[in-house]
Structure 1
Amino acid sequence: MSDKYEHEPEKAVDEKGLEAQTIEAIEEPEVENSKIEAVRLVVPVTDDPTLVAVTFRFWVISFLFSVIGSVIQQYYFYRSTSGSFSIFFVNLASYAIGKAMARTLPSTSVSLGGFSFSLNPGPFNIKEHCLIGIAVSTAAGAAYAIDILSATDLFLDHRIGALGSLLLIITTQCVGYGMAGVLRKYLVYPAEMVWWSNLVQVVFYNAMHKTDDFANQKMIRGWSYMKYFWVFCGGMFIWEFIPQWIAPTLVYFDWLCWINPFNKDFWAIFSSISGGGVLAMSFDWTSVGGATMYYPLAAQLCNYGGMIVNYWILLPIMWMTNALGTKTMGRPLTSRLFFENGTGFDIKTVLNSDFTVNDAAYNAGPQANMSPLYAIGFMTSFIALAGCVSHIICFHGKDLWRNWRQAIGGEDEDIHTKLMQVYPEVPQYWYAIFYLIMAGLSIMVCEVYDLQLPWWGLIISLVLGWLLTLPICAMTAITGFGPGLNVITELVCGYMLPGKPIANMVFKCYGYMAMYQCMNLLGDLKLGHYMKIPPRSMFIAQFWGTIVGGIFNYLTMILIIDSQREVLNGDKQDPSGLWTGQRVQTFWGSGLIYGALGPARMFALDGKYGFVYLGFLIGFVIPVILWGLSKKFPSIQWSKFNVAIIAGGMGAFPNGYVVGVLPSLIVALIFQYYIFRYHKGWWKKYVFILSAALDTGAAFTGLIIFLFLGGGISPKLSVTIPSWWANHYTDDGDNAPFLSIDRCGAARGAWTGGV
């Protein structure tokens, strides 16, 4: 600093002025707040401990929307676009119902056994409202165990009984509770653990209940927060009928493919449904999502950068050069197995009656091969997992170690953690007992229902989940992105129990879900932390939602499989392009590769796919190099280059189609770069409520289409839009002359080039 500033003379202040400044400083002390800027901008630092969260209204409303949410989310599991049952729809509807119940219900007390409660304990409050949303969000998901039940039903013609299915679903969903209880001090309480998706909900709840600064906040044209919400929600609701129902081509707007739609090379490179979707657009908001407006920009750039590298650069190169026989498999992205000549491999021809592989039968014929880009997907999964552990240790290890030693009660404790100390904590033994019960039931399910997984194998899967949950959840909390344990669990079980595909799927489900459900529960606990909901109320709500959701997930699965079996198992293609068994096929394909055939056979070091193990080395080494560079060149934020997130983007395909990359990137740059950097006041005021409005409008549309226009309530209500340019299909049920709804590819193999 120059001498000019160091020696600038003091300004004279008279005695009266000094006194006035002193009084002002006393009257307006600086309010303690979070050290995370986004949290500081939107999360209030106030609380009312007198508000009750678990009420009669909570039980009734949460059950209603848990049922609806679990049904809708399971429905989307079998759809080609990754839409979801919006929690904002739940927030709006539950608010209206809760207010109505508060006005109309009597305040009579009801006794059940030794418990007594009031039907109407007072005004419908924000904590009660938020707890309903948390219970429903726990229920409104497609349980991972549904993959096992769907795969065995669709590809092995084996349906596990209802009781065994429900126990499998509930135990896999609940086994993460004990882990969440132990880890909450390290992954919920510290300010650095933001859990980004919660911020938009905090804004939404406070806007609806008009708390603190939200009460008098005015938007454009003097609108209130909720009027602003409804205007944009209504606009999106109307718009989404076009891509989701009237013109599904707008979901897959593969405009470059139209230059030469019947050329197989163009189809493989530019089709979003069957290929890399290079430079493809999508005008369906469910393909973009509101999270792109507020997730950390660096993490999003890493994610979309990985997608671009793999699907826009690597895929075209491999397809055009036929590297590792990419063209031979018929399509660049598929999770199915093939023989060397490209004909399909059917595992049922080499299975014993107990669904184990007959080695003699398999070895007597040609060997199974996988799509090269599918194999690369396994390598990127290894990169993501190893990179996550290495990145967290290198760049966040010191903070985690400090939190581990300090837990709570430290000098730099987060303000929201301090405010939560007024409420009794959930004792650790609650979580411990619950965990032991679920682990015991899990062993019983595996042994009684002959799922090929012995008790000791289940224990190993749970231990694996414990070992890797901390780094994965830490990365998710900090960046909004994190890898899964699905591939590493498959690999371990494949070496441990070769030739047993069902055992591999079950091992993966328990090992992966222990981490995944723990992560979801921790995220909800953070929302409760921001909203100051008592921890014991949170425990009750999460368990309640999990049980209700699991039951209705199962019932929905049975109905959809029975009505769409040929489409889901791949025997027939849906002409509308909206139903797909891609997720189940991917799960089953992994079960074949790792479980039935085994990694020792499929990924032999001297074999065609031995390169996948390089992923572990790449993932561990790159963060160490970046950490070293951060010490050498500290002015550059090297931690922003996250190899785990990049690799996660590269492995996007197995979870669905590569749709919405370009529009998502555009939205992220507009909101998280331009607006956040140059118009931060606008960003603070509008971005979260706008995100909620757009997501809710799109979810409303999907719900109406599913229940009424799509025949969800009754097939008699189904309404089909007449065939036209943007949804073209013929009377015999296909998209001829096009292969699929994106108007790309030649139906019935009538290619004009690129073959």
Structure 2
Amino acid sequence: MSHNHSDDLKADLEKDGFFNKNPEDVYLQEDTTPVENSKIEAVRLVVPVTDDPSLVAITFRFWVISFFFSVIGAVIQQYYFYRSTSGSFSIFFVNLASYAMGKVLARILPTGSIAIGSFSMSLNPGPFNIKEHALIGIAASTAASAAYAIDILSATDLFLDHRIGALGSLLLIITTQCVGYGMAGVLRKYLVYPAEMVWWGNLVQVVFYNAMHNTDEFRSRKMIRGWSYMKYFWVFCGGMFVYEFMPQLFGPLFVYFDWICWINPFNKDFWAIFSSISGGGVLSLSFDWTSIGGATMYLPLSAQLCNYGGVVLNYWILLPIMWLTNSLGTKTVGRPLTSRLFFENGTSFDIHTVLNPDFSLNEDLYNAGQPAYMSPMYAIGFLTSFIALAGCVSHIICFHGKDLWQNWKMAMGSEDEDIHTKMMKVYPEVPHLWYSIFYVVMAALAILTCEVYGLQLPWWGLIVALLIGWALTLPICAMTAITGFGPGLNVITELVCGYMLPGKPIANMTFKCYGYMAMYQCMNLLSDLKLGHYMKIPPRSMFIGQFWGTLIGACFNYLTMVLIIDSQREVLDGSKQDPTGLWTGQRVQTFWGSGLIYGALGPARMFALDGKYGFVYLGFLIGAAVPIILWGLSKKYPSVKWEKFNIAIIAGGMSAYPNGYVVGILPSLIVCMIFQYYIFRYHKGWWKKYVFILSSALDTGAAFTGLVIFLFLGGGISPKLSVNIPSWWANYHTPDGDNAPYMAVNRCGAATPKGWTGGV
């Protein structure tokens, strides 16, 4: 008798709850248990309520492995900072590789100890454990970021021919990365301990670590066809690894699949509206998983819909209208999305011609010439940034203020506090004094750096920047922890400094970096502290691991920046077009453009209330008013979930792409609706069992591909290893050897006709 494998597959899916007609049945079976658990459903499903306090996180293996992956992560992430695609160094790659290395070291290292003074540490304290493993990942993730201070160093190097010395650069990077530590220490009771502060990305890692270490809660869970969690992971990770070579290497056209452009490939209006390359990307597709991301599979549906709604509103509706009607001179500057400055006739504005030797604005020279203008869509980006910031504060106060106040009181020690907070009380806390001393030291070093290395920012200006960070970190981090989305402080900080120190672009960039990074780094540290909370890592071990990763990341961010700028300077500063389409200075150009607008020229000049862009200040009023209106409606019509309509997230989506390309919106929305609407609502049993491990598998596979291409096929280790892919329709070459002209305005997906002279 033949065996029907499709029947087995259906049986497995039924067992997993995929055909469960009542999505609540699964929870009624598993959640009606006397064991105390989190009141947040997603946390209840994936975070174990068990702990082994005997496990040690800081070991000799931790120091060795975390250093290795922190170096790789810092280099790769800085590399992607200058790439046209927004790939990243996946923490899941670190988790996999460090797990293997940890297991090997546990077998081969001797059991003796090493001593440094009175301190000794065992070389091999026993089996490689889950807390040790998680702390390695946390240290590596702390290092694996493109430090925001790199924007300052890159901009001054590329556009002002001024390279700050190595010591000054490292001090700038380290202090901007570390000022958030003291804030995180103070705010942890409010933004880590309450159950509502989920920090969604951590749930994927909790599943991943427990699956790899086969903990009790995960040992009994079997995937489809009886697979273990790790077998399921490796199958999908391997599949994505192989697949990603197509968009990332062999066919870059699949990253920017602007299919509507092919209807009229030589029409500039089609390019501006439908192309992903400096256009609106309307209905554009992307078959590159790094443009979609696993977060679309688990972030709250309402938050994602608000975000995508903002993108559609700004780039798919408003941008085409403004371009076709030439509103505010949108067509005059040649492309709808650009951060560069122009004269009124659309020719490029060169700031160098009106700067003094100390890089401040020479007002006499500027006033003698024509005024500078920005692209209208770039100005609207400032408007939406103000809406997002004001909307975040207003929304948190209106819809979460009462609950957060109650939760914070619980975090201070009431009997109703979160189960995971109760479990962490077995470990000694990091004294507030540690965080306070650390903060004061970093602030002092920051003042020293600004004064010694000519960053134009006086000591009192730096203090104002840090105070702004303190004032706005709480609402921003609260929204991020609850929804997965939150605004930044980059725009408000440059606005404040523009009024305080007009005519000083370097001071403006520095002020923004310290003010913004105080919040941003605090947010990253709080997220890691929440992961440590879920994994039951001792707080003092967390403190050491986070600072260790930050220190390593700063050093190798700087080294990578120097190497890339020296080799790709003409492409990054915009004086030469990259024939491969893979290198871009767009992020640095945007940062520098903001510095010119707010710093050299000043907001009083660029955003005068009676001027062309005075409307941007309406963003504060709109952002503050909308949540209040919605809150009032929620009182009158309580059956409607008005809090799901989040103006801050919508505005964040509207300003999501000033630094790069509008890529992957439609496929991301499709993935979101499949997993977060259809499967979560109608097949919740399947969702809770598979979605987090599947998300991590796909992200890891794509990250592996990017790493292999960078190191071995893209010349990362040696230019001799660089591979030239043959020309075909998805990787088009011109007769001169230039690659990927499909990104140019005169092609938009087709070959350039003879004699055609269009261009930007």
Fold similarity call, TM over 0.5? yes
Instruction: Determine if the alignment matches structure 1 residue 681 to structure 2 residue 671.
Output: no
Q: 2:543, 2:754 → 1: CA distance?
A: 55
The 1:750/1:133 distance shift into structure 2, 3 A limit, reads: farther
Partner of 2:647: 643
Check the 8 A contact 2:47/2:206 in 1, yes or no: yes
Cα distance between partner residues in 1 of 2:433 and 2:756: 65
1:101-140 alignment to 2 at 5 Å? Answer: 101-140=105-144
Displacement of 1:267 in angstroms is 0.4
1:476 maps to what in 2?
A: 480
What's the counterpart of residue 12 of structure 1?
none
- Find the partner of 2:406 among 395, 402, 406: 402
Q: In structure 2, what is the Cα distance between the partners aligned to 1:166 and 1:491?
A: 26
Instruction: Note the aligned Cα RMSD (angstroms).
Output: 1.5
Equivalents in 1 of 2:743, 2:468: separation in Å? 43
For 1:293, the aligned partner's letter is M
- In 2, Cα distance between equivalents of 1:147 and 1:585: 9
Matched, 1:308 2:309: no
2:465 maps to 1:461: yes
Distance 1:573 1:306, change over 3 A: same
Matched, 1:370 2:374: yes
1:33-67 CA-to-partner distances (Å, cap 9, x unmatched) read 10000001111010000000000000000000000
Partner in structure 2 of residue 264 of structure 1:
268
**Secondary structure of the equivalent of 1:121?**
coil
Whether the 8 Å CA contact 1:739–1:745 is kept in 2: the answer is no
Q: Are 2:709 and 1:705 aligned?
A: yes
Residues 241-286 of structure 1: per-residue CA shift (max 9 Å, x gap): 0000000000000000111111000000000012000000000000
Superposition pairs of residues 96-495 of structure 1, within 5 angstroms: 96-495=100-499
**In 2 relative to 1, CA 754–148 (structure 1 residues): closer, same or farther, beyond 3 Å?**
closer
How many Å separate the matches in 2 of 1:486 and 1:259? Answer: 39
Deviations 1:175-210 (A, max 9, x none): 000000000000000000000000000000000001
Counterpart secondary structure, 1:198:
helix
Paired residue for 1:523, among 523, 527, 531?
527
Query: Matched residue of 1:383: which SS?
Result: helix
Match of 2:590 among 586, 590, 606: 586
User: Once structures 1 and 2 are overlaid, which stretch shifts more, 735-744 or 297-306?
Assistant: 735-744
Q: 1:459-509: per-residue Cα shift (whole Å, max 9, x none)?
A: 000000000000000000000000000000000000000000000000000
**Residue 31 of structure 1, aligned match among 35, 43, 54:** 35
The separation in 1 between residues aligned to 2:441 and 2:296, in whole angstroms, is 39
Deviation at 1:743, TM superposition (A): 3.9
SS of 1:326 mapped into structure 2: helix
The 1:753/1:362 distance shift into structure 2, 3 A limit, reads closer
| Separation in 2, partners of 1:623, 1:244 | 41
Shift of 1:731: 4.3
| Partner SS, residue 48 of structure 1 | coil
Q: Which runs of 5+ in 2 are unaligned?
A: 1-31
Deviations 1:424-472 (A, max 9, x none): 0000000000000000000000000010000000000000000000000
**Once the 2 structures are TM-superposed, how far is the Cα of residue 522 of structure 1 from its aligned partner?**
0.1
Alignment partners' CA distance in 2, 1:329 and 1:189? 50
Structure-1 separation of matches of 2:403 and 2:539: 24
Q: 2:681 aligns to what SS in structure 1?
A: helix
- Give yes or no for contact 2:194–2:410 (8 Å, CA) kept in 1: no
Distance 1:102 1:489 in 2: 48
Amino acid at match of 2:197: M
Please give the alpha-carbon distance, in whole angstroms, between the structure 2 residues aligned to 1:675 and 1:120: 45
CA distance in 1, matches of 2:494, 2:753: 36
| Equivalent residue number for residue 15 of structure 1 | none
Are the aligned partners of 2:310 and 2:652 in contact in 1 as well (CA < 8 Å)? yes
Length-normalised TM-score, structure 2: 0.94
The 2-side partners of 1:537 and 1:421 are apart by: 14
Change in Cα spacing, 1:291 to 1:29, as seen in structure 2 (3 Å) is closer
1:730 and 2:730 correspond: no
Distance 1:230 1:236, change over 3 A: same
Distance 1:718 1:401, change over 3 A: same
C-alpha displacement at 1:750, in angstroms?
6.6
Per the alignment, residue 551 of structure 1 pairs with 555
Deviation sequence 1:393-414 (CA, Å, 0-9, x none):
0001112222444432112200
- Residues 270 and 751 of structure 1: CA distance in aligned 2, closer, same or farther (over 3 Å): farther
Q: In the aligned structure 2, how far is the partner of 1:652 from the partner of 1:91? A: 29
Task: Supply the distance in 2 between the matched residues of 1:660 and 1:423 (Cα, whole angstroms).
Answer: 44
- Cα distance change of structure 1 residues 45 and 749 upon mapping to structure 2, 3 Å threshold: farther
SS at match of 1:654: coil
Runs of 4+, deviation exceeding 6 Å = 745-750, 752-755
- TM-score scaled by length of structure 1: 0.95
Partner SS for 1:116: strand
Report if aligned partners of 2:289, 2:699 keep a CA contact under 8 Å in 1.
yes
Q: Please tell me whether the aligned partners of residues 262 and 750 of structure 1 are also in contact (alpha carbons under 8 angstroms).
A: no
Matches of 1:269 and 1:751, distance apart in 2 = 20
Q: CA deviation at 1:227?
A: 0.5
Q: Are the counterparts in 2 of residues 265 and 754 from structure 1 also a CA contact under 8 Å?
A: no
Equivalent pair of 1:602/1:609 in contact (CA under 8 Å):
yes
Distance of 1:408 and 1:203 partners within structure 2? 28
- Structure 1 distance, partners of 2:298, 2:434, is 35
Contact 1:152–1:158 under 8 Å retained in 2: yes
Name the structure 2 match of 1:534.
Answer: 538
Counterpart contact for 1:745–1:751, Cα < 8 Å: no
What whole-Å deviation, never above 9, does each CA across 1:518-553 have from its counterpart, x for those lacking one? 000000000000000000000000000000001000
Helix, strand or coil: the match of 2:194?
A: coil
Residue 19 of structure 2 is matched in structure 1 by none
Aligned-pair distance for 1:114? 1.2
Q: For 1:110, what is the secondary structure of its paired residue?
A: strand
Q: Conserved in 1, the CA contact under 8 Å of 2:170 and 2:555? A: yes
The AA in structure 1 aligned to 2:600 is: A
Answer yes or no: is the 8 Å Cα contact 1:576–1:729 preserved in 2: no
Cα pair 2:177 2:517 within 8 Å, conserved: yes
Residue 23 of structure 2 aligns with which residue?
A: none
Kindly report which structure 2 residues correspond to 1:560-571, keeping only aligned pairs within 5 A, or say none.
Answer: 560-571=564-575
Change (3 A) 1:722 1:647: same
Equivalence for 2:16: none
Counterpart Cα distance in 2 of 1:338 and 1:263: 24
Q: Choose which of 74, 78, 89 in structure 1 pairs with 2:93.
A: 89
Paired amino acid for 1:462:
L
- Asked if residue 691 in structure 1 is aligned to residue 695 in structure 2, the reply is yes
Q: Aligned with 1:723: secondary structure?
A: coil
CA distance in 1, matches of 2:742, 2:661: 18
CA distance in 1, matches of 2:617, 2:71: 42
Q: For 2:633, which of 629, 632, 635 is the aligned residue?
A: 629
Does the CA-based 8 Å contact 1:735-1:747 persist in structure 2? no
Q: Is there any run of 5+ residues in structure 1 with no aligned partner, and where?
A: 1-27
Once the two structures are TM-superposed, the CA of residue 218 in structure 1 deviates from its matched residue by 1.1
1:602 aligns with 2:575: no
2:633, 2:147 → 1: CA distance?
42
The 3 A distance-change label for structure 1 pair 126 and 735 is closer
Aligned-partner Cα distance in 2 for 1:567–1:550 = 24
Tell me the matched-pair count: 728
Would you say the 8 A contact 1:739–1:747 is kept in 2? Answer: no
Does structure 2 retain, via aligned residues, the 8 Å contact 1:329–1:342? yes
1:55 maps to 59
